[in-house]
Amino acid sequence: MATCTIYYSASFAAWQAPVATLLNGTAHQLVWQALDSLSEAPVSAIVLQHEQDLYRRDIPLLASRSVLLLSDEWSFDEATQWLKAGVKDSMALSDSQRIAAWIAAELARAEFSFVTQQAAQTMLQNVIDAIPVPIFYKDEHHVYRGCNQAFSEFIGLPLEKIVDHSVYDVAPKELAHVYYRADAMLLAEGGVQIYEAACQTPQGIRDIEFNKAVFYKSNGEKGGQVGVMLDVTERNLLMQKVERASRTDPLTGIGNRREFEQCVDAVLSHAKQSSQAASLLTLDIDHFKKINDAFGHSSGDEALKFLVNTVQDALPAEATLYRMGGEEFYVLLPNTDLASAKGVAEQIRAYIPTQPLILKGQIVRLTVSIGAIQLASQRQLEESFKRVDKALYEAKHSGRNRVCLAYYD
């Protein structure tokens, strides 16, 4: 005699004995198990669940268990809504004979369907297992009804831990929320869905591109969805490297003009919201052409890298340095007014000559000319650039190795 466990929620406890008596003549030995939450019942188990014992967190699990939803006052409209949520059937709590008949029918149906479906399932499984990328399909209640070996290996779970389970059974809760919302949107809208999301695997978190589509039953109703997973982790890492490279000066390793343009917008937006000032320094190596002429362009490159390291040593923590081209550099100073910017500029100007640069065995003392301006607004950026460049030009033509300030009219 086969043994089968029947799970039931607290409100059914008073009715368990009469129903068990009615089922004494079946070909199954029944074990009755009380539960506090639907998550305590294994997948595909028969569950007698009273609606007042059902938690909101259990609703996504309804379709992955064989649930008979019980209510004190049964109505057709409410029963229809529960069927849409994934329960197998809905009855009145007091209708012991119907409940017993439903349990007997479920036990018989499970035995019959196991034999007839096994052959068809074996053929389908062999076909999809031959496909080397992860594939899965779910029914309209978001329950996995099948997957291939590649999917099983990718997420690190055997087939029996996936099929007939909900996404909350196979994925961490925070990721399951993402998948469930995407599934619900796809089933509501129909068609095709492509998106990227993280996936927990035995090798750690991977970036996955999901390609999913709705499939339909013979009657035209939505039957569920089928999906293919593409691991795009390496592609994304490469794209990130390319993006970083496009914003980085290859010689010195600091941000380039593109990076500066993005950062200055963010700094000005923050300055506007916080009512703080922001300033800009532009600096240029004095007599840089003489270094190239005397020591060669490779030594000129060494001088530029030396300057970057030296300036960064002298900068406050929030400041950032950018190479705009040639020997011209910008220093972006968040939360800094013009008076404070002048102080930073003077500190840089005074510090650089104290650090010896050795080129081809000779000590070279670099100096820089600096222009400084307090930035006004994003709309006036071009005007700010013109004025600070003019201040730099003034510093160079009034003797070099000095700081000049730029003002607005």
Count of H helices and E strands in the chain? 12, 17
- Give CA–CA dist 398/393, Å, rounded: 9
> In sequence order, what are the beta bridge partners of 227?
136, 212
Whether 106 is catalytic:
no
Among candidate residues 327, 346, 382, 383, the one labeled active-site is 327
Pairing of strands 204-216, 222-231: antiparallel
How would you label 147-179 residue by residue, b for 16+ Cβ within 10 Å and e otherwise?
bbbbbbebbebeeeebbbbbbbbbbeeebbeeb
Residue 226 CB partners (closer than 8 Å, separation 6+) = 135, 136, 137, 212, 213, 215
CA neighbours within 13 Å on the CB side: how many for 43? 16
Closest CA to 72 of 114, 15, 129: 15
- Give CA–CA dist 135/120, Å, rounded: 18
Structure token digits, residue 337: 């007014």
Q: CA 204, 205, 211: angle at the middle one, nearest 5?
A: 130
Q: CA 144, 149, 151: angle at the middle one, nearest 5?
A: 55
Q: Residue 338, Cβ neighbours under 10 Å: how many? A: 17
Hey, what amino acid is at 196? E
Strand order of the β-sheet with 135-139 is 144-147, 135-139, 222-231, 204-216, 192-201
Residues acting as catalytic residues: 327
